[in-house]
Amino acid sequence: MKKIKQLEQQLAQLRAAIEQGEQPVVGLKAQREATTTERARIEARLAEIKVEQESQRARIIAEAQLVATTITSVYLNPPGARLRCGGGG
Protein backbone atom coordinates (compact mmCIF):
# COMPACT_ATOMS: atom_id res chain seq x y z
CA MET A 1 0.00 0.00 0.00
CA LYS A 2 2.80 2.39 0.83
CA LYS A 3 4.26 1.87 -2.62
CA ILE A 4 0.88 2.73 -4.25
CA LYS A 5 0.62 5.98 -2.26
CA GLN A 6 4.14 6.90 -3.30
CA LEU A 7 3.36 6.19 -6.96
CA GLU A 8 0.14 8.22 -6.74
CA GLN A 9 2.08 11.20 -5.35
CA GLN A 10 4.64 10.90 -8.15
CA LEU A 11 1.82 10.71 -10.68
CA ALA A 12 0.20 13.85 -9.21
CA GLN A 13 3.55 15.68 -9.37
CA LEU A 14 4.06 14.58 -12.96
CA ARG A 15 0.56 15.73 -13.93
CA ALA A 16 1.21 19.12 -12.31
CA ALA A 17 4.50 19.39 -14.19
CA ILE A 18 2.76 18.56 -17.47
CA GLU A 19 0.13 21.25 -16.85
CA GLN A 20 2.83 23.82 -16.15
CA GLY A 21 4.68 22.78 -19.30
CA GLU A 22 1.55 23.03 -21.43
CA GLN A 23 0.80 26.63 -20.49
CA PRO A 24 3.81 28.08 -22.34
CA VAL A 25 3.07 25.78 -25.29
CA VAL A 26 -0.46 27.17 -25.55
CA GLY A 27 0.95 30.70 -25.45
CA LEU A 28 3.51 29.90 -28.11
CA LYS A 29 0.84 28.37 -30.35
CA ALA A 30 -1.25 31.53 -30.06
CA GLN A 31 1.80 33.65 -30.81
CA ARG A 32 2.62 31.52 -33.85
CA GLU A 33 -0.94 31.86 -35.13
CA ALA A 34 -0.84 35.63 -34.70
CA THR A 35 2.51 35.78 -36.49
CA THR A 36 1.17 33.64 -39.34
CA THR A 37 -1.84 35.94 -39.68
CA GLU A 38 0.40 39.02 -39.72
CA ARG A 39 2.65 37.43 -42.33
CA ALA A 40 -0.35 36.68 -44.57
CA ARG A 41 -1.50 40.30 -44.21
CA ILE A 42 1.96 41.58 -45.13
CA GLU A 43 2.20 39.25 -48.13
CA ALA A 44 -1.21 40.41 -49.36
CA ARG A 45 -0.18 44.05 -49.00
CA LEU A 46 3.08 43.33 -50.82
CA ALA A 47 1.11 41.82 -53.72
CA GLU A 48 -1.06 44.96 -53.83
CA ILE A 49 2.03 47.16 -53.89
CA LYS A 50 3.53 45.14 -56.75
CA VAL A 51 0.35 45.57 -58.80
CA GLU A 52 0.31 49.29 -58.04
CA GLN A 53 4.00 49.57 -58.90
CA GLU A 54 3.45 47.92 -62.29
CA SER A 55 0.53 50.24 -62.99
CA GLN A 56 2.64 53.29 -62.10
CA ARG A 57 5.48 51.98 -64.26
CA ALA A 58 3.19 51.62 -67.28
CA ARG A 59 1.77 55.12 -66.72
CA ILE A 60 5.24 56.66 -66.42
CA ILE A 61 6.41 54.96 -69.61
CA ALA A 62 3.33 56.19 -71.49
CA GLU A 63 3.87 59.75 -70.25
CA ALA A 64 7.58 59.59 -71.11
CA GLN A 65 6.73 58.47 -74.64
CA LEU A 66 4.32 61.39 -75.01
CA VAL A 67 6.96 63.84 -73.76
CA ALA A 68 9.58 62.35 -76.09
CA THR A 69 7.21 62.56 -79.06
CA THR A 70 6.36 66.18 -78.25
CA ILE A 71 10.00 67.19 -77.88
CA THR A 72 10.93 65.43 -81.12
CA SER A 73 8.06 67.12 -82.95
CA VAL A 74 9.06 70.57 -81.67
CA TYR A 75 12.72 69.93 -82.53
CA LEU A 76 11.98 68.72 -86.06
CA ASN A 77 9.25 71.30 -86.71
CA PRO A 78 10.10 74.44 -84.73
CA PRO A 79 7.13 76.84 -84.34
CA GLY A 80 8.72 79.64 -86.42
CA ALA A 81 10.12 77.38 -89.15
CA ARG A 82 7.23 77.95 -91.52
CA LEU A 83 7.56 81.71 -91.21
CA ARG A 84 11.29 81.66 -91.96
CA CYS A 85 10.87 79.43 -94.97
CA GLY A 86 8.30 81.69 -96.52
CA GLY A 87 5.50 79.26 -95.92
CA GLY A 88 3.51 81.70 -93.81
CA GLY A 89 1.36 84.58 -95.12
Map out the domains of the chain as residue ranges.
2-76
- How does pLDDT run across 24-63, given as a tens digit for each residue? 888 899 999 999 999 999 999 999 999 999 999 999 999 9
Q: Quote the pTM value.
A: 0.54
DSSP 77: S
The pLDDT, as a whole number, for residue 79 is: 74
Q: How far apart are CA 60 and CA 44, in angstroms?
A: 24
DSSP 2: H
- How does pLDDT run across 7-26, given as a tens digit for each residue? 889 889 888 888 888 888 88
Helix (H) or strand (E) segment spanning residue 79: none
The pLDDT, as a whole number, for residue 89 is: 47
Sequence-ordered list of residues with C-beta below 8 angstroms from that of 88, at least 6 positions apart, any chain: 82
The pLDDT, as a whole number, for residue 19 is: 83
Indicate the residue type of 20: Q
The pLDDT, as a whole number, for residue 83 is: 59
- Cα angle 88-70-76, degrees, rounded to a multiple of 5: 50
